[in-house]
Amino acid sequence: MSSYNIITLNEFISTRQANFPYAKGELTRLLHYIGLASKIVNKKVNKAGLVDILGEAGNTNVQGEDQKKLDVFADEEFIKALKASGECCGIATEEQDEIITFDEEMARDGNYVVCIDPLDGSSNIDVNVSIGTIFSIYRRKSKRGERAQLYDFLQKGTEQVAAGYVIYGSSTMLVYTTGHGVNGFTLDATIGEFCLSHPNIKTPKAGKIYSINEGNYAHFPDNVKKYIKYCQEIDKPTSRPYSSRYIGSLVADFHRNLLKGGIYIYPQTAKDRNGKLRLLYECNPIAYIAEQAGGKATDGNTRIMEVEPESIHQRIPFYTGSEDMVNKAESLN
Ligand code: P6P
C-alpha cells in the first residue's frame, strides 16, 4: 500500500467531523487524545514482561481486585490525556471509587464526560493474553465552566456520542463508533499511527462461537444452562457447528466475535445477582459498537443502552454479539 493510501485515525476523525454539526473539532480532539494515551499504554503493555511493571501494585481497586501496576499506569495515562484534551470535564473510571472532576478552567469548560475501563482483563497481563481499554463519551448535562456532576455520568447508553475500545493483542487496534458505523484502526508502530484497517465493520447475524465462563455453570440461571446445552446439542445427522471460546478478557472475546460472529454472555449467577460487568464503562460502550455493527446487546431481557444507570460502578448481566444468537439465548428465558 502506498504510504499515501494510508488513512490515519486523526485524518479519519477530522473528515468525519462533518457528521457532527455541533462539534467544532471538540470530539475530534477528545478522540485524538484517547488515541495518544492508547499508544503510550500500548508501549508499556508490550514491554510488561521486561520491565518491573508486573505484579501487584499493593492496592486493591473499588472492585476489590488486586491492582496491577499496569492498571494504575493506564488509569493515570488516560486521566492525564483526557485532562490535557481540554474537552473533558470529568471521568468515571473503573480504578477510582468516585468520579474525577477537573478544576482547571480549560478542562472545566469541556463539553464531554468520559466513562472508561483503562485496562480491562488485567488479570491476563502476567500471562501475555490480550487485554483492552474500553471508553464511552457523553455530552455533559451540567453547565459548561462548572464542575462536572454525577448526573453527567448517569446517562443512558443511548445518549453516548462515541464509544470504543483498544485491544492490546497480537496487534494493537482501536475500534470506535460515533453512531455512523464502526471502524477499526491498527497501530503501525513504525510510524506511530493508528491506520484504518477495518472500515465499516459489520458483525454476522449468526455465528458459531459462544463465549461464557462455563466454570460458573452450576450458578447460571436456567435459560443460560439451556442455551449452553443448545450450543452443545448434537443435531442428527450433523453436529451443531458451535465452538466454545472464552479468553476471560471482554475486549478480546468481543472483538473476535464481532468479526467472526458469536455471542458473549456474562449472566447473573447465584453468587453475583447482577453479573460481573459494569454498565457504564464496559457494557454500554460495547453495546453501542455491537448495535452499530448490526449486532445486539441486552441484559437478557432489556436493551442495555436503555437501562437507566443508578451508580457509576453498577453491574449488569450482559448478552452481546450476533443478533440471532442473542435472540436465541433470550428465547430460552
Ligand atoms: P471471569 C475481566 O476481569 C472481566 O471484567 C472481563 O474482561 C472478562 O470477560 C470477565 O471479567 C472474566 O470474568 O469471572 O470469567 O474470570
Is 203 part of a structural domain of the chain?
no
Domain boundary among 153, 170, 198: 198
Q: What is the mean pLDDT of residues 266-280?
A: 93
Predicted pLDDT of residue 173? 98
What range does the domain containing 57 cover? Answer: 3-198
What tens digit of pLDDT does each residue of 190-225 get? 999 999 999 999 999 999 999 999 999 999 999 999
248 and 156 in a common domain: no
143 and 8 in a common domain: yes
Domain boundary among 141, 167, 198: 198
The CA 169 to ligand 1 mean position distance, Å, reads: 16
* Choice between 333 and 22, residue whose per-residue pLDDT is larger: 333
Q: How many structural domains is the chain composed of?
A: 2
Predicted pLDDT of residue 186? 97
Closest atom of ligand 1 to CA, residue 215: 15
- With a 6 Å cutoff on the Cβ, whether 94 touches ligand 1 is no
Predicted pLDDT of residue 106? 83
151 and 10 in a common domain: yes
168 and 122 in a common domain: yes
Is 223 part of a structural domain of the chain?
yes
- CA dist., res. 324 & res. 210, Å (int): 12
- CA dist., res. 169 & res. 26, Å (int): 29
- CA dist., res. 108 & res. 127, Å (int): 40
Ligand 1 pocket test target in 249, 251, 278, 283 with most atoms within 8 Å of CB:
249
Residue 250 sits at the vertex; the CA angle it makes with 296 and 50, to the nearest 5 degrees, is: 155
241 and 99 in a common domain: no
- CA dist., res. 135 & res. 9, Å (int): 16
C-alpha cell at 58: 499493593
CATH of the domain at 65: 3.30.540.10
Q: How confident is the model at residue 123 (pLDDT cuts 50, 70, 90)?
A: confident
Residue 237 has pLDDT above 70, yes or no: no
Asked if the bond preceding 21 is cis, omega within 30° of 0, the reply is no
Is 204 part of a structural domain of the chain?
no
What tens digit of pLDDT does each residue of 40-93 get? 999 988 876 655 544 455 556 666 666 558 888 999 999 999 999 999 999 999
**Looking up cell 483498544, which residue turns up?**
166
Beta bridge partners of 176: 164, 183
Cβ within 8 Å of residue 220, ≥6 positions away: 228, 267, 269
Domain boundary among 198, 232, 261: 198
244 and 188 in a common domain: no
Q: How confident is the model at residue 231 (pLDDT cuts 50, 70, 90)?
A: very high
